[in-house]
């Protein structure tokens, strides 16, 4: 009897222990589930904040680039810049959504991936993309619609010729058409998508330019401050022979002084692969294009004069100056209209943020993805598109 009671007691204790373990496990799983949901919510919030920050940065960068509208601005280093990376970040999700969910057809149950034999359908990917970036993408579309409505109300139209002219200005920031096209490809953009963004910014500029007030005194002050950079700076043409040691450079310089042909020696002995095949010719360049030691020596030479051995971070140079172009400073009358266009564009850029806030505030907007961003239903409607 005692043995049976003892066994029953042990069985009861085991069952109680098992229940406690199950309870603890269930509690841990519940907590982990809550943490996972919290992590997912935090991650989604961070993604949304990043997208919105990038979107705002794009607007500012594109406005600054497009509204300036002048080809004499300093181009980005290497023909690219922050603008391309930002555009890519903002447009990537919208581009993917269009590709997988075409507006005119396409099957939502098409398999886009498989995992251990389990199919992942196209609509699952689409829904995930909308969750990750749908709010920012829809807000972009709302903003574009507001701008278009304001343009129609003001009888403003941006033509294909306007867009092409602006694209030509952008291309001038690059060393070649090939570099421009490779930069577009690098950031997964096309010429058509760039034209679309350009049209939006030109529209904003045309709407706001009549609201600007640039005076003749401001134009003259800008000219006086910047006239040295408005024209063509001084440039020289030079050739060089680059070698690794001073001993070799001294020997080559002695050979040239004894009548040796500079171009022939450059082809034979220079280690600068970019210029040696042209007899060391570097073409025309202005100040700031070369390393300081080379620049100082080259600009100090007279035409056809040959320098002493010049050391730089690249090695040892022998330099021959072959031509020069004096700086050309344009007159105020020659640059007056160009300066006015630039100042008007800059002022329009400064007005754009407040203007966007104003037209959104007066618009009647319903946004189902972001109800808190919807305008007051009693707000004045924006001009209706015709």
Task: Check if the beta carbon of residue 357 is closer than 8 Å to that of residue 363.
Answer: no
The mean pLDDT value for 107-135 works out to 79
What's the pLDDT band for 249 if we cut at 50, 70, 90? very high
Per-residue model confidence (pLDDT) at position 231:
83
Q: Average pLDDT in the 336-355 region?
A: 88
pLDDT surpassing 70 at residue 169: yes
User: How buried is 213 (Cβ within 10 angstroms: 0-12 exposed, 13-18 middle, 19+ buried)?
Assistant: exposed
Structure tokens belonging to residue 218: 């401001």
User: What pLDDT score does 258 carry?
Assistant: 94
pLDDT value at 241 more than 70: yes
Q: Above 50 in pLDDT, residue 141?
A: yes
Sheet of strand 281-286, all strands in order from the earlier edge strand to the far edge: 281-286, 235-243, 315-325, 310-312
Return the pLDDT at 257.
Answer: 94
CATH value of 60-227+333-373 in 2.30.30, 1.10.4030, 1.10.3470, 1.10.20: 1.10.4030
From residue 41, alpha-carbon distances to 36, 127, 197, 283 in Å are 8, 16, 32, 58
Nearest-angstrom CA–CA distance, 79 and 198: 18
Are 171 and 177 within 8 A, CB to CB?
A: yes
**The two three-digit tokens of residue 264, written as one number:** 């022939």
**How many alpha carbons lie under 13 Å from residue 77 in its C-beta half-sphere?**
2
pLDDT at 53 over 70: no
Q: How far apart are CA 301 and CA 294, in angstroms?
A: 11
- Where are the CATH 1.10.4030 domain residues in the chain? 60-227+333-373
For the stretch 330-345, pLDDT in tens is 999 999 988 998 898 8
Q: Rounded distance, CA 274 to CA 269, Å?
A: 13
Specify the residue for token string 């309870």.
Answer: 23
**Which one is predicted more confidently, 162 or 173?**
162
Given this model, what pLDDT does residue 68 score?
38
Share the mean pLDDT of the chain. Answer: 75
Radius of gyration of the CA atoms of the chain, in A: 33
The stretch 154-161 carries a mean pLDDT of 91
280 with 258: CB under 8 angstroms?
no
Most confident of 119-133, 161-175, 294-308, 338-352: 294-308
**SS3 of the chain:** CHHHHHHHHHHHHHHHHHHHHHHHHHHHHHHHHHHHHHHHHHHHHHHHHHHHHHHHHHHHHHHHHHHHCCCCCCCCHHHCCHHHHHHHHHHHHHHHHHHHCCCCCCCCCCEEEEECCEEEEHHHHHHHHHHHHHHHHHHHHHHHHHHHHHHHHCCCCCCHHHHHHHHHHHHCCCCCHHHHHHHHHHCCCCHHHHHHHHHHHHHHHHHHHHHCCCCHHHHHHHHHHHHHHHCECCEEEEEEEEECCHHHHHHHHHHHHCCCCHHHHHHHHCCCCCCHHHCCEEEEEECCCCCHHHHHHHHHCCCCCECCCEEECCEEEEEEEEEEECCECCCHHHHHHHHHHHHHHHHHHHHHHHHHHHHHHHCCCCCCCCHHHCCCCCCCCCCCCC
Q: Distance between CA atoms of 284 and 326, rounded to whole angstroms?
A: 12
Q: What number is the average pLDDT over the span 128-153?
A: 83
The residue among 270 and 360 whose pLDDT is bigger is: 270
More confident residue, 88 or 44: 44
Q: What value does the mean pLDDT take over residues 160-167?
A: 90
Rounded CA separation 385/149 (Å) = 5
- Distance between CA atoms of 131 and 60, rounded to whole angstroms? 25
pLDDT band of residue 374 (cuts 50, 70, 90) is: low
Q: Is the pLDDT of residue 227 over 60?
A: yes
Entry field: residues in the chain: 386
Task: Please state the rounded mean pLDDT for residues 140-165.
Answer: 89
Tell me what pLDDT residue 275 has: 95
Q: Which two tokens stand for residue 58?
A: 């794009």
- pLDDT tens per residue, range 5-45: 555 555 555 554 554 444 444 444 444 444 444 544 545 55
Mean pLDDT of 157-184: 86
pLDDT for 251: 96
Fold of 232-325: Chitinase A; domain 3 (3.10.50)
pLDDT tens for each residue of 266-318 = 999 999 999 999 999 999 999 989 999 999 999 999 999 999 999 999 999 99
CATH 3.10.50.40 intervals, the chain: 232-325
In terms of Cα–Cα distance, which of 325, 235, 240 is closest to 289? 235
pLDDT number for residue 318? 97
Res 112: pLDDT: 78
pTM: 0.50
pLDDT score at 281:
96
The answer to whether the beta carbons of residues 250 and 269 sit under 8 Å apart is: no
Most confident by average pLDDT, 94-103, 107-116, 264-273: 264-273
């Amino acid at each position: 009897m005692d043995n049976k009671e003892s066994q029953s007691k042990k069985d009861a204790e085991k069952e109680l222990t098992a229940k406690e373990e199950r309870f603890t496990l269930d509690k841990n799983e519940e907590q982990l589930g809550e943490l996972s949901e919290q992590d997912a919510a935090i991650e989604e919030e961070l993604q949304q904040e990043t997208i919105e920050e990038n979107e705002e940065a794009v607007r500012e960068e594109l406005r600054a680039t497009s509204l300036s509208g002048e080809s004499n601005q300093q181009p980005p280093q290497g023909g690219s810049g922050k603008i391309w990376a930002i555009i890519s970040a903002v447009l990537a999700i919208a581009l993917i959504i269009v590709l997988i969910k075409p507006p005119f057809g396409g099957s939502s149950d098409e398999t886009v991936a498989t995992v251990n034999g389990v199919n992942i359908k196209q609509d699952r990917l689409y829904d995930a993309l909308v969750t990750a970036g749908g709010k920012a993408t829809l807000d972009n579309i709302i903003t574009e619609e507001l701008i278009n409505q304001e343009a129609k109300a003001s009888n403003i139209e941006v033509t294909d010729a306007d867009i092409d002219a602006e694209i030509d200005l952008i291309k001038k920031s690059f060393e070649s058409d090939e570099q421009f096209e490779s930069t577009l490809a690098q950031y997964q953009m096309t010429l058509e998508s760039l034209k679309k963004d350009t049209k939006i910014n030109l529209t904003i500029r045309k709407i706001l330019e009549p609201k600007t007030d640039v005076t003749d005194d401001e134009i003259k002050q800008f000219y006086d401050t910047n006239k040295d950079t408005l024209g063509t700076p001084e440039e020289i043409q030079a050739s060089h022979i680059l070698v690794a040691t001073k001993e070799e450079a001294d020997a080559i310089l002695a050979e040239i002084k004894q009548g040796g042909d500079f171009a022939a020696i450059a082809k034979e002995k220079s280690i600068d692969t970019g210029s040696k095949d042209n007899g060391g010719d570097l073409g025309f360049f202005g100040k700031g294009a070369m390393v300081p030691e080379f620049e100082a020596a080259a600009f100090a030479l007279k035409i056809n004069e040959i320098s002493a051995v010049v050391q730089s971070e690249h090695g040892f140079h022998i330099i021959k100056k072959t031509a020069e172009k004096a700086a050309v400073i344009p007159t105020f009358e020659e640059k007056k209209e160009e300066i006015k266009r630039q100042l008007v564009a800059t002022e329009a850029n400064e007005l754009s943020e407040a203007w966007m806030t104003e037209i959104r505030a007066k618009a009647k907007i319903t946004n189902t993805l972001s109800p808190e961003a919807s305008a007051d239903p009693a707000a004045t409607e924006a001009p209706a598109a015709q």
